Amino acid sequence: MFNALLGVCILYAAGFDDGVPPVSRLRTVTGVVEREHSVRHAIDFKLRGQAREYRYASKSGAMAQVEHALAPGGAPVTLLFDPADPGGPLFAEKTFYPVYAVSVTGVSVRSHAQVREAWAGDNRVGLFLGVVFLVFAAVLAFVPVRR
């Protein structure tokens, strides 16, 4: 029963929300990166003279190129971010705004469409795992166990 419930939950989470908001909901900001810190699954950074801190998630893809583009003191970067959806680590005071596109001096490093596709690919893995759990639950439910 647990496997079936887990499979349904995974299918629901992976199938109904790609996690990337439409461009119409996003805002643009431009500035020079003041500081950047790479963590295991993201790049956290701040733009000079701004209070907001931003996070580019690894599931958005092209981490090496984006990290290079976000070098502190480099050329101005333009970001697409969601001002309505700040987040951060549990039990931490920091708040980060998720970034869904990065460009440097007008040249795209990672577009909104590329980020959306990367997230969709990640969700396809979730759909596959959800189906695997459901099949496993069906096998456990209908195949007699020998003792």
Asked if residue 39 lies in contact with residue 57, where contact means CB atoms within 8 angstroms, the answer is: no
Positive or negative, the CA dihedral 92, 97, 102, 104 is negative
Give the pLDDT confidence of 37-68 residue by residue, as tens digits: 888 889 999 999 999 999 999 999 999 999 99
At 24 the pLDDT is 94
Angle, vertex CA 29, rays to CA 107 and CA 57, nearest 5: 75
Those residues of the chain that have pLDDT short of 70 are: 1-18, 89-92, 122-141, 144-147
At 5 the pLDDT is 63
Q: How many CA within 13 A on the CB side of residue 146?
A: 0
pTM, full prediction: 0.76
Instruction: Compute CA distances 63 → 24, 66, 72, 108, 127, whole Å.
Output: 25, 5, 16, 14, 24
* Rounded (10°) angle between helices 2-15 and 112-142: 160
